[in-house]
Amino acid sequence: MSSRIRLAKIWDSLLTKRKSPDFKLAFPLADRKITRPIMEQKVAHLNFGEKLWVWFEANKKQVLWGTLVIVVLGLIVSFYFWQESKKETNAGEALSQVLASTAFSGGPRTASPEEYLKVASQHGGTSAGAQALLLAGEALFAAATSRKANSNRREVFTRKSRAQRVRLETKRECAWRN
């Protein structure tokens, strides 16, 4: 027990010394002589590329995830634009088939408006669909004016034929009277 008591007293004395205001360091502050460092004090500044590389090394995981997101978004956008150009191509081919069928058929030079309207309805929202709609309007206008012209022509021919009949009858009457 005596050794335990001794250790307890030593321990208490150490604790009391530490807490006492008279406690001082083992070496005095005034006597310290610290030599100047031998290293150069001028710090070398990193250029932008080196700072970027250090940042990349510190944030490698986030950079890889960001790159992956950008690549996936790029693929989605490129697929969308590819699909839109494919729609335009298909619409142009459909309109070309209608135009070629009218040009090489040997018949009338204008296609029926229904064929153009079919292309316009199937490929709405494309430039070829809009062009087909305009061509359908042109064909409808041409058909309407040709019907009107035909009716005017018939009317002119019937008037002319009446006038010719009247002339012929008057000539006959004059010839019969003479």
Ranges in the chain, pLDDT < 70? 1-2, 11-41, 43, 105-111, 148-169, 171-172, 175-178
Q: What is the pLDDT of residues 3-47, one digit of tens each?
A: 777 777 776 666 665 544 555 555 555 555 666 666 666 767 889
Query: How many C-beta atoms surround the C-beta of residue 119 within 10 A?
Result: 28
Find the DSSP H helices in the chain: 2-19, 48-58, 60-103, 113-122, 127-177
Give, in degrees to the nearest 5, the angle at Cα 123 between 91 and 134. Answer: 90
* Separation of CA 91 from chain center: 20
pTM of the predicted protein model: 0.50
Share of the chain above pLDDT 70, in %: 60
Structure tokens at 107: 């018949």
